[in-house]
Structure 1
Amino acid sequence: MAAVDVNERLRTAMGLVLLACAPGLLALLWLHGWGMLLNLLLTSVGALATEAALLMLMRRPVRAALSDGSALVTATLLAIALPAYAPGWLPLIAASCAVAIGKHAYGGVGKNPFNPAMLGYAVVLLSFPVAMTQWPAPQPLDLGTSLHLVFGITSSTQPDAWVQATVLDGLRNNRSLTIDELFAQHPGFGFFGGKGTEWASLGFLLGGLFLLQRKVFSWHAPAGLLGSLFIISVFCWNGSGSDSHGSPLLHLLSGSTLFAAFFIVTEPVSGPRSPMARLMFGVGVGTLIYLIRTWGSYPDGTAFAVLLMNLAVPALERWAARREREAT
């Protein structure tokens, strides 16, 4: 009976997470059209097929495990994180690695020390860096072009008709323009952050607040990430000059910030259990995101920030337990 209750709670939580992804996903569908749908289809196929194959090899029940929704949530988070119109093999590899290495290599649901979606993302980012830099402009392509880009033969020297540097790329590689000039001239800049992706970020904020209201997770990790990123960007912000690292609002509404705050750092298994440790986990992720964006080798760095803080979870738990003992 206890196992049935645990499985039912897991299915309910995964269903709520998928529902909460809907506003952000709809915004991305509006921006990228078929590319986003194809991403979601391919990551879902890769995650579910890998999960089923591994369960059969281990002679464990397939239907019950697939119905818990965890593989589908991992696939959805990966589809959101990966570039739309990526070559078809890339979402399949990312999803397969997320499930096989990030989840089942450690024993399955409830035992993974690393966030599976971020591990799958990091694998393809390190293995196929060129494909992972082809971010599309905020405009949907027709179905024929989409199918050609995803399933056809494409090359890294393809014309830039549909590829555009992201806001964080533009900010990182800027050498002469002020921030105001970047917003006026760079096609990727919108009102406060990335053009169009601002709405996706607000969609994920809306979904995250829904999950908070349903008590799927606590406020500690999201508050830690957003608070630390805001504070460090305030202290490091030097106005709108050409050497500026960007305003706090730009950092909050660009890249994967709000998506990560409510759908990545809140992953319950690879994150800490105690509230204080969760808060510090979010603080660490937010700080690392800013450091990687500003001085590291990657424009965003969310996946590496999360995976590095996953390594620190045992130390954070011990620190929080010691603080609780001292308080009593």
Structure 2
Amino acid sequence: MENNKITKDPITVNEARFVSLAPHIRSNDTVQKIMLDVIIALVPAMIAAVYFFGMRSILLILTCVVACVATEYITQSALKKTVQIKDLSAVVTGILIALNMPQSFPLWMAAFGSVFSILIVKECFGGIGFNFMNPALAARLVLMASWPKQITDYISPELLKQGIITSAATMDGVSYATPLQVIASGDLSKLPAISDMFIGNIGGVIGETSAIALLIGFVYLVVRKVISWEIPVIYVATTAVCLGILGIPVNVIPYELLAGGLLLGAIFMATDYTTNPINRKGRIIFALGCGILTAVIRVKASLPEGVSYAICLMNLATPLIDKLTITSAYGEAK
């Protein structure tokens, strides 16, 4: 949810064919206002991260934000472009990258992912509004490919609170099996209580564990009309249905929906303005595709999680979806 299609560039002939039909509604929204709303919506998740995973969560968030903003400033200055760090989109990207990291993730690796997201995924493709996939998820995929062990070293919030372990303890083999890993292992007796999953008292990346915090952010964004309810709700519902079709027991599906990055991805990353389709029919297809891919990857692939891959794959399919779902202009010959 980092970028917006608001741009000062004139619309070219090729771009004009993708403009939605009348009536056109004027809005006083700016990129900065929208990004500020997203940051506010992420505040509950950040508070939950600090509460359950300690003060190092703040350090992780600050590292990613500073790296993203600095990279955007340096890149735009070097290319003699208008510096746009005040639009807050780089801040949102940094927060989302941090929320996709485990508490123990090395800071220099987090900074590397942040630089990659802005420099390669965003600025190399023209800056805000032109990236081909969600920058935060692209950073997560690169980090997963580069340091798979470190990005899956999860810590139990309970043990952290009791002081039994520290963030460095994972280096000694003390790590926490997430609910998705437990489901993948087949030993369902080790699943945590649903109540713990709802409030966030489980292991995982720092921003995905508290369902209630993410849902508060979702309600805020819908009320503020920053996003529509359609993509998150259809995405999650499709995932649930497909998991059932693929053989996941009905009593386990709630764990699947509350665990992992499904809510974080559906609310804050699948709704990214730039990387999802521009019309309603296209967005529905996009959400359905995300849900189907997430379920298939979780059940059939070797990894228990599939949200990052699902959204990024559908990001790549967005131009095709737009082309197939474009509506005819009024009076145009059929």
What TM-score bracket applies, with the shorter chain setting the length?
A: 0.7 to 0.9
State the secondary structure of the residue aligned to 1:102: helix
Partner of 2:173: 160
Structure 2 unaligned regions, length at least 5 = 1-6, 10-25, 203-207
Equivalent residue letter for 1:24: A
Equivalent residue letter for 2:52: L
Partner of 2:13: none
Distance in 1 of aligned mates of 2:238 and 2:329: 23
Is the CA contact 2:133–2:315 (under 8 Å) kept in the aligned structure 1? yes
Partner of 1:186: none
State the secondary structure of the residue aligned to 1:217: coil
Pair 1:316-2:324 in alignment = no
Q: CA deviation at 1:323?
A: 9.3
Q: CA deviation at 1:255?
A: 0.7
1:182 aligned residue (172, 178, 190): 190
Residue-pair matches, total: 301
Is the CA contact 2:209–2:259 (under 8 Å) kept in the aligned structure 1? no
Partner of 1:286: 291
Identity %: 25
**Where do 1:127-146 residues align within 5 Å?**
127-139=146-158, 140=160
Q: CA deviation at 1:316?
A: 1.3
Q: CA deviation at 1:247?
A: 2.2
Distance in 2 of aligned mates of 1:32 and 1:108: 33
Structure 1 residues 324 and 286 mapped into 2: Cα distance closer, same or farther (>3 Å)? farther
State the secondary structure of the residue aligned to 2:121: coil
Structure 1 unaligned regions, length at least 5 = 184-188, 241-245
Distance in 2 of aligned mates of 1:35 and 1:171: 28
Structure 1 residues 199 and 124 mapped into 2: Cα distance closer, same or farther (>3 Å)? closer
- TM value normalised by structure 2: 0.82
Question: Whose helix fraction is larger, Structure 1's or Structure 2's?
Answer: 1
Structure 1 residues 106 and 307 mapped into 2: Cα distance closer, same or farther (>3 Å)? same
**Where do 1:265-280 residues align within 5 Å?**
265-280=270-285
| 1:54-80 superposed Cα distances (whole Å, 9 cap, x missing partner) | 012111233xx1110000000011111
Is the CA contact 1:224–1:281 (under 8 Å) kept in the aligned structure 2? no
Is the CA contact 2:243–2:299 (under 8 Å) kept in the aligned structure 1? no
Q: CA deviation at 1:315?
A: 1.8
1:228 aligned residue (230, 238, 241): 238
Distance in 2 of aligned mates of 1:238 and 1:309: 23
Q: CA deviation at 1:248?
A: 2.2
Distance in 2 of aligned mates of 1:66 and 1:7: 20
Pair 1:99-2:118 in alignment = yes
Equivalent residue letter for 2:86: S
Pair 1:109-2:117 in alignment = no
Q: CA deviation at 1:142?
A: 9.5
Structure 1 residues 7 and 115 mapped into 2: Cα distance closer, same or farther (>3 Å)? farther
Distance in 1 of aligned mates of 2:161 and 2:107: 16
Structure 1 residues 296 and 199 mapped into 2: Cα distance closer, same or farther (>3 Å)? closer
